[in-house]
Amino acid sequence: MKPSSSRSEALLRPLSGTPDVDAELDDRALLQALLDAEAALARAAADTGLLPVPVAEEIARHCRAERYDPAALGAAADAAGNPVVPLVRELTAAVDASARPWVHHGATSQDILDTALSLVAVRAGAVLLRQLDAAADAAADLARVHRDTLMVARTLGQQAAPTTFGLKAAGWLLGLDEARTRLARARAALPAQLGGAVGTLAGYGPAGPDLVDRFAAQLGLAASPLPWHTRRQPVLDLAAALGGLLAATGKIAIDVGLLAQTEIGEVTEGGEGRGGSSAMPHKRNPVDSVLVTAAARRGPGLVGTLFTAAVQEHERATGGWHAEWEPLGDLLHLAGGAAARTARMLAGLRVHPERMRANLDATGGLLLAEAVATRLAPALGRAAAHDLVRRAAARPPLRDALLAEPDVRAHLSEADLDAALDPAGWLGSAGHLVDRALDLHRDGSR
């Protein structure tokens, strides 16, 4: 299940993935998953009485990846269009003669490869969930520590109104927890595939439906009520969950990258020795932010490929199924790298509250224009109050311009105006929202 980008495996692949997830995606892992499916098929058939137990164990005994050469199988796969055909040939040759008629009994190549890809995704997904947990815990720590740390909120690229860094981190946290929930649900629903040549289970006689359930149970996968050869919803659910994970981590990464800009300077990525430039000795680049953002930008195309490939004809596809294999591997690979780097980025993030406050004060109180207009609205009406404050905002500093307005002095004392211009007084329910996100994370995210 090597991603298609693996041509530069030694130089570029480590920049988009992470070793613990990639270990579940490499050729050896996929080969073992294919063999696990063959062993489970033999044992399930023995459980239903279709073949002798010693025969099933003989087949399972030879289902070990180290016995086979992935490169040779890959080269031989070109003749049949998938690697299962040459693998079955080699497995059949390896077992005792009495077991050879029963290798791959009643199955088709898609049954084994779909099941193997489900296994690979489940195994890689277990690592991904742990990485998401670490990232979410780091976001929760930031939200807790900085619950009341004032900063400026930005909308449409401009300074807008006061908020807290705790609320920003709480938004990151909820995004990660939601991504984890979706991934866990999609992973738990990944089914084994078994239908035979056209999805009728004809090779198993009346025992077919029972064998399907036993086959899935052997592998710890969900049992599908019908073969899903051209009904690709399990793949789509997984693709959507992985795309959502990349979107959630990408949102955090792009926020961190923007906040770390020299002119903003509100956060800095940690990590000694990271972020250097080949040309500029002074630079400290937000490397994790950059790499996670890159992964997030690649995700939608891969998700789109899988959704496009899902429209498949009749009982077995001519190309649509084949188009899924590498994009699915790419998505798992990118999700692993993004989740791991997000966890590292958030755990080491250095927050600069003094810089946040300086940026908040940079416009001389203009960010509190809404707060002043809201206080004047009961007396002047909303539209008139808005226009008055807008006119004053054009003559900074705002406080002096407002005090020069008779309608302001008539309805607000200097103390009232100063209270309206205090950013800590215009945070709405920010603290409560942070607490809510932390409660959800603690009580329900896992």
Residue 81 in 3-state DSSP?
coil
d(CA 162, CA 426): 7
CA dist list (Å): 20 to 170, 182, 333, 335, 406: 27, 21, 10, 12, 67
Is 429 within the bounds of a domain?
no
Phi, psi (5° rounding) for residue 160?
Answer: -125, -65
pLDDT one-digit tens code per residue, 390-432:
999 999 899 999 999 999 999 999 999 999 999 999 999 999 9
- Active-site residue (options: 123, 180, 316, 344): 316
Q: What is the DSSP letter of 82?
A: S
CA distance 201 to 374: 70
**Can you tell me which residue has the tokens 């709480």?**
170
Band (5; pLDDT cuts 50, 70, 90): very low
pLDDT of residue 348: 96
Per DSSP, which regions of 277-433 are E strands? 350-351
Alpha-carbon gap, residue 38 to 24, rounded angstroms: 18
Mean pLDDT (the chain, rounded):
94
> Among the listed ranges 160-169, 267-276, 325-334, which one has the minimum average pLDDT value?
267-276
Position 65 in a domain: yes
Same domain as 329, residue 217 = yes
Mark whether 214 and 131 lie in a shared domain: yes
Q: How confident is the model at residue 275 (pLDDT cuts 50, 70, 90)?
A: low
CA distance 427 to 367: 12
* 300 plus 382 within the same structural domain: no
Would you say residue 146 lies in a domain?
yes
Torsional sign, CA 398, 399, 401, 402: positive
Within 8 A by CB and 6+ apart from 114, the residues are 193, 228, 229
Name the residue range of residue 198's domain.
4-355
- Looking at residue 36, which CATH number applies to its domain? 1.20.200.10
Interacting residues of 227 by C-beta distance below 8 A, sequence separation 6+: 111, 193, 194, 195, 196, 199, 201
Question: Residues 322, 243, 249, CA angle at the centre, nearest 5°?
Answer: 145
Active-site pick, 277, 350, 395, 409: 277
Return the closest-CA partner of residue 141 out of 445, 444, 434, 446. Answer: 434
Q: Residue 157: left if φ>0, alpha if ψ -120 to 50, beta else—which one?
A: left
Q: Which of 19-23, 283-287, 344-348 has the lowest mean pLDDT?
A: 283-287
Residue 316: active-site member = yes
- What pLDDT does residue 362 have? 94
Q: Are residues 285 and 380 in the same domain?
A: no
440 located within any domain: no
251 found inside a domain: yes
Nearest-angstrom CA–CA distance, 209 and 221? 15
First to last CA, the chain: 28
Check residue 285 and give its pLDDT.
84
Q: How far from 240 is each of 19, 180, 245, 302, 446, CA to CA, in Å? A: 23, 12, 9, 10, 19
pLDDT at 272 over 80: no
pLDDT at 6: 47
Same domain for 58 and 187: yes
- Say how many domains are in the chain: 2
Q: Give tens-digit pLDDT for 29-82.
A: 999 999 999 999 999 999 999 999 999 999 999 999 999 999 999 999 999 999
Per the listing, tokens 């932010």 go with: 289
pLDDT of amino acid 199: 97
Last residue of a domain, one of 355, 374, 397: 355
pLDDT reported for residue 280: 47
Of 309, 328, 355, the residue that ends a domain is 355
Q: What three-state secondary structure class fits 268? A: strand
* Statement: residue 198 has pLDDT above 80: yes
3-state secondary structure 287-332: HHHHHHHHHHHHHHHHHHHHHHHCCCCCCCCCCCCHHHHHHHHHHH
Same domain for 146 and 178, yes or no, is yes
Reported as a single tens digit per residue, the pLDDT across 367-384 is 999 999 999 999 999 999
Tell me, yes or no, whether 261 and 285 share the same domain.
yes
Express each pLDDT in 211-226 by its tens digit.
999 999 999 999 999 9
Indicate if the pLDDT at residue 323 is higher than 80.
Answer: yes
- Stated pTM of the model: 0.93
Within this chain, do residues 310 and 377 fall inside the same structural domain, yes or no? Answer: no
Share of the chain above pLDDT 70, in %: 95
pLDDT in tens, 94-121: 999 999 999 999 999 999 999 999 999 9
Residue 443 lies in a domain: no
- Say if CB 423 and CB 368 are below 8 A apart: yes
Residues 281 and 408 in one domain: no
The mean-pLDDT minimum among 110-114, 207-211, 277-281, 313-317 falls in 277-281
Structural domain includes residue 444: no
If asked whether residues 286 and 412 sit together in one domain, one would say: no
Active site residue 277: yes
**Residues 248 and 395 reside in one and the same domain:** no
On the question of pLDDT at 282 being above 60, the answer is no
Report helix, strand or coil for 276.
coil
269 and 376 both lie in a single domain: no
Residue in 424, 434, 435, 418 with CA at minimum distance from that of residue 357 = 424
Domain's final residue, options 355, 383, 410: 355
- Residue 401 counted as domain residue: yes
Please check the confidence at residue 3 and state whether its pLDDT lies above 80. Answer: no
